[in-house]
Structure formats: structure tokens, C-alpha cells
Structure 1
């Protein structure tokens, strides 16, 4: 009986999760080798398992998928494990951000369970735990990639991406604190900056660039299919496509938070009551009358279901849904043209359009 795409997706996830068990045990064993007591080892293991493997794992698995696309063949066991390590390093980075972010936002739950800092006896120890999640990345890179030609590139990429994400978080925190609503600080340009720096670099460019380094894609090359053409800069091409793709993903996320019912979205949308600098509020602010603006000023970011409905009513009145449809078609058309302009690689070590089309196919017209 032929396996379905759902079966294949489940198999991919299962194989990727099996690699996590090995990586997690390596990290805990390292603590043991450092002479850390049994309770510290157990604490670290719980920190790792609570915070790292529970999400969709799209970022981490994208590293493996992209290496396979670039090599145009199935990976050997060793190649798969190395790609999976880098994928799990991305998931460790995500966990580090989320543990800290949940404390900053005083969030209650994450992935259907209590946020780590709210787990019994954790509290502010979560600050140190987040540091340990980040430090684990660099221990894994040193252990598994120290002798690889791309080692320094991998280190620099993780450091740069972490800094970029923290810049995005800073803009977000000072623009839209939950306890102080000031819509005059909002704008579509501010939203774009937050999205690109807080999400697009680490969620889209990082997994692909890691895979490119691992697959041996050089900083520049003359495409084999066009030997008389000018040299291309594959990492610049990837960045130029993946940042708009990441921005589109987040705009889509913002719109779904407002428009999708919880049973379809899989969670309750809270951007309005949490004073998020989302695409929807910024789009509305550019279209409202003075009277509508007064309603938004009085109602946005309030922990009040009635005021939330008043905000949604204004969103409908100014045509946020139509604006989103127009935005989506325009941005997807632009991204497709950029992908079509990529010189199609014909040999290992050259960029392939499928790297980008695979991302776009997963995102376009998604409903959750």
C-alpha cells in the first residue's frame, strides 16, 4: 500500500526526533563528565525535553530537507545525523528565545503545557536554563563540526542570527509593551523591522544557510549550466528571497490570529488583547477615520472581550481582509519571480530553486 504524504511527514518527524534522543543524551552526558551532580543532570535533561522538541520542528527539519535538495539524493546515515544536529541547534536556539520571551511577556502556556518558568520550583532559574539551552548549541558545534571547513561559518551564522533576533525583540518590547498601549508608536515599517529581525532571519534564512554551508555551497560560483555567465552569490540570493518569505509568513500569522476561529487555528488568537504590533492593526491604522481611530485607541490592547470585538469591527469596516488578499497575491507573485530568476543548479554545491519553492508551498494559503 502506497504511503501518503501524511505518512511520509510522520516518518520524517520520527527520524528527526530519534536524532534528538541521541543529541540530548550527549548533552546530559557532558554534564556528567564535568562532574555535575545527579540532580543537576536531571534538571538539565528536563529543561531540554520540556523546551526543545515539543513544537512543529519545521525550522529544524528544514535544515535536513534543504541538504537533501542541494545534494539531490538521499543522505547517508552520517550525513543525515550531521544535518539533524544543525537542525536541532536551530530548535535549541528557538527554545532559548521562547523560555526568555515567555518570562518577558509573563505568558501562561506554551505548546499546550505551562511555560517553563511556571513549572513548580523553576521560577527565575529559567533565566539560567535559557542560557544553558543557547550554550548547548556551541558545545554541539564544537564536538561535531570542529574539523569541518564550514565550522567558523556555522559559528558566525549562529552568533549573527542570535543578535539580529534580539534586536527584533528589543524593538517589539519597547514598541508594544502589554501594559502600556500607545498606537502612535505603531507603523507598517516598524512592523516590518520587527518581523524581519525577530522572525525571518532565524526561522527562514538560518536553516537554509546552515544547510548550504554543510552541503559545501561556496560564497560565489559560475553556474555549471551557464559557464559564460557572471558568478552568482548564493547566500545573497538566499537572503534576498528568504527575508520577504519570512515577512510574508509572519503577516499571514498575524492575519490568521485575527481571522481564524480557534477550532481551525488550533489556539485562541490574542494579538489584539496583548497589544501586539501586528500587521492587522497597522493596516487598519493607515485606513481609519478619526472616529474609528478613537475607538482603536480606547479598545486595543485591553483585556476585555467587548473591546476586542470593537477592534475586530473596525478591522472589518476598513477592509483588513481585502487588504490581506491583495497583499498575499502581490508578495507571492514577487517571491515567485525572484525564485524563477535563480540560476538553476545542475550539480552538487549549487543552489536549487526547490530550496525556496518548498518553503513557499508550505506557507501559501495555509489556514493555521
Structure 2
């Protein structure tokens, strides 16, 4: 018997999901109505293959993982459709990352140069971000147009993308204004709710539930609340890995300090600082200067922010686990338990 390898999915199922990506791209390119512009089609294929299949795939895998927990003995056709939805989430994620990396001036992503740095693309890579987003809706139309839940899928993607864009706006505006007095836990939670939680946690689960036909139920409302908490936990992990993660594992050189991001690390440090330490933090945070970045990281070490993070991780895991156990559905409980186990103590 094949042992489960990721979030309740077997290694064979993970491999099937990954294989579906190549079928999806081949099908999309072969069936495109843009055959009179082969240069663009070839470019679209390059954009997809560079930016989409090389990540952790947590968001994409959550769709079949959720579906498998909620549906007994799904057939091959149903599984293929949820694999396609999973890859739609991954393509949307790639669209966001291409854009984010340009705005943040990031250097690497997933162990390779950010897309805008490939072939000296620069700002014109913004168009590729738009291409990726539009491809999601082309794929949805191709595979789900005849399904009675098609419009719900489209509305879900549009709604969550809008929320994520608003969260991104709050995030970038906060960093742009550089008013460190506005960097509060309340502001941070608002950024994370819209930028991360809906997009990373809620969307994949809601997609699977929409296909099954249980979206909009009271159970989904309860699940949404837990998704918000797991999303915050996930983002705090990202904040920690940006500063303290091993680049060989994360594949990304963190720039949150230079970019003056409103992060859990900064807020926790600010709250722990004495007057002298707070002055050091204010004078060094948010500058693209190696010495100043080192000063901030040294202060984080002095304040034992890594210890505070480990305590936060354990407390969050315990709190979320307790709330999952109170769900009135053993199937949905399994979904969130598998998800929590997927991301617990992650290092990338």
C-alpha cells in the first residue's frame, strides 16, 4: 500500500497532480485560438513553464486534498477536474508572484532569478503577470463551461483575487508611507486576512466545496473562520522564513526588512524593545543598506525573536487544532487537520 505523503494525498496522487500540469499546458496551447500569433503562443508556454510548476504547490494540492476528504470514491473524471482547478490556483499564484517580485525588487524566487530578471525583461514582465491571470479564466471556460457551478467558480476566483489585490494594496501602501507608528498587530492582521488568508487557504478549499455543491453552507462559514486563522499562521511563517530561513530551502532571498514591510517580526520586536532598542529599530528598518539590515537582524537576535516565533507557532498550532476539533463535520475536520500538518514547521 502506498503511504500518504502530503496532506492526506498519496505519493501517486501527488505525481498524478504534477503530471496533469503538462497535459493542461499542452492542451491549452494546442487549442488556443491565437494560432495566427505563434510567437506569442510560444512565449506564453515559456512564461507558464518558468513560473508555475516549480513551487511548493501547497495551494494547488489543497484542492484535490479537500475533495478527497469530502467525496468517497471519486471517479477519474472528477479527479482530473479538481486537478485542473488546483493548477488554476497555482497559475494565479504565479501571476501574483511575478507582479510582487517586480514591486519588491526581489532577486530570486524558487531558487532561480525572478521572472522580471530573465532576459532583462524588467517592467514589461507585468504583462506576463496579466497573461497568467487571464489564462486562469480561459482554462475555467474550457473545462467547466458546461458545469452548473461554472459561474460560482468564476465568481469565487474574481472575489478572492479582488480581496488579495486589496490586501496587497494595504501592504504596499503601508510600506510606502513608512510610518512605523502605523505598524500595529491590527494593521498586520488586516493585511494578512485579505492578502494571504482568502487567497492561500480559503480559495482552494472553497473551490473543492463548490464542485461538490456545499458552498455557502453554515459549515463553509465555520470553515472560513478557521481558514482565516490558518492563513495568519501561514503568513507569520513566511515572515519568519524571509528573515531566518535557509535560502537553499526557501529559494528566495528575503527583502522584507529592506522593503519596510509590516511583518509579525517587526511588530513583535517593536513591542519588546526598550527606548534605546526602539531607536535602533527605527533608524535601521526599511533601508536597502547591508549594514542597516544587519543591525535589524542583530536586534532581532538580541530580542530573541526566533524564540518568540517558536512559541507563537506552538500556541497557534494548538489553538487552531482545538477549533478544528469543534467542527461538526469529521470530513471537514480531516481537511483542516491535513492542511495544518502540511504547513506545520515548514522550512520553505
Q: TM-score, normalised by structure 2?
A: 0.91
Residue by residue over 1:147-178, the C-alpha shift from the partner in whole angstroms, topping out at 9 and shown as x without a partner, is 2222121111100000010011101111114x
State the partner residue of 1:360: 340
CA distance in 2, matches of 1:282, 1:264: 25
State the partner residue of 1:298: 283
State the partner residue of 1:27: 28
CA distance in 1, matches of 2:251, 2:125: 27
CA distance in 2, matches of 1:258, 1:59: 23
1:245–1:335 contact (8 Å) kept in structure 2: yes
State the partner residue of 1:254: 239
State the partner residue of 2:199: 202
Q: Tell me if 1:214 matches 2:199.
A: no
Q: Tell me if 1:321 matches 2:306.
A: yes
2:277–2:299 contact (8 Å) kept in structure 1: yes
CA distance in 2, matches of 1:181, 1:192: 18
The structural deviation recorded for 1:186 is 1.4
CA distance in 1, matches of 2:75, 2:316: 37
CA distance in 2, matches of 1:361, 1:80: 22
Aligned counterpart in structure 1 of residue 292 of structure 2, from 297, 307, 310: 307
1:181–1:300 contact (8 Å) kept in structure 2: no
Q: Tell me if 1:161 matches 2:160.
A: yes
2:160–2:198 contact (8 Å) kept in structure 1: yes
Structure 1 residues 121 and 133: CA distance shift in structure 2, 3 A: same
State the partner residue of 2:63: 63
CA distance in 1, matches of 2:290, 2:265: 18
State the partner residue of 2:129: 130
Structure 1 residue runs without a partner (length 5+): 221-232, 346-350
State the partner residue of 1:146: 145
CA distance in 1, matches of 2:20, 2:71: 20
Q: Tell me if 1:186 matches 2:200.
A: no
Is 118-127 or 155-164 further displaced after alignment?
A: 118-127
Aligned counterpart in structure 2 of residue 245 of structure 1, from 230, 238, 241: 230
Structure 2 residue runs without a partner (length 5+): none
State the partner residue of 1:226: none
The structural deviation recorded for 1:86 is 0.6
SS class of match (1:176): helix
The structural deviation recorded for 1:294 is 0.8
SS class of match (2:43): helix
Runs of 4+ in 1 over 6 A off after TM superposition: none
CA distance in 1, matches of 2:98, 2:215: 35
Residue by residue over 1:277-296, the C-alpha shift from the partner in whole angstroms, topping out at 9 and shown as x without a partner, is 21011111122122111101
Q: Report 1:106-125 matches (<5 A).
A: 106-120=105-119, 122-125=121-124
Structure 1 residues 42 and 256: CA distance shift in structure 2, 3 A: closer
State the partner residue of 1:16: 17
Residue by residue over 1:45-64, the C-alpha shift from the partner in whole angstroms, topping out at 9 and shown as x without a partner, is 11111111121111111101
Q: TM-score, normalised by structure 1?
A: 0.86
The structural deviation recorded for 1:267 is 4.7
The structural deviation recorded for 1:121 is 6.2
The structural deviation recorded for 1:6 is 5.3
State the partner residue of 2:49: 49
How many residue pairs align between the two structures?
A: 346
Residue by residue over 1:48-101, the C-alpha shift from the partner in whole angstroms, topping out at 9 and shown as x without a partner, is 11111121111111101111110133x322111100111011011111111111
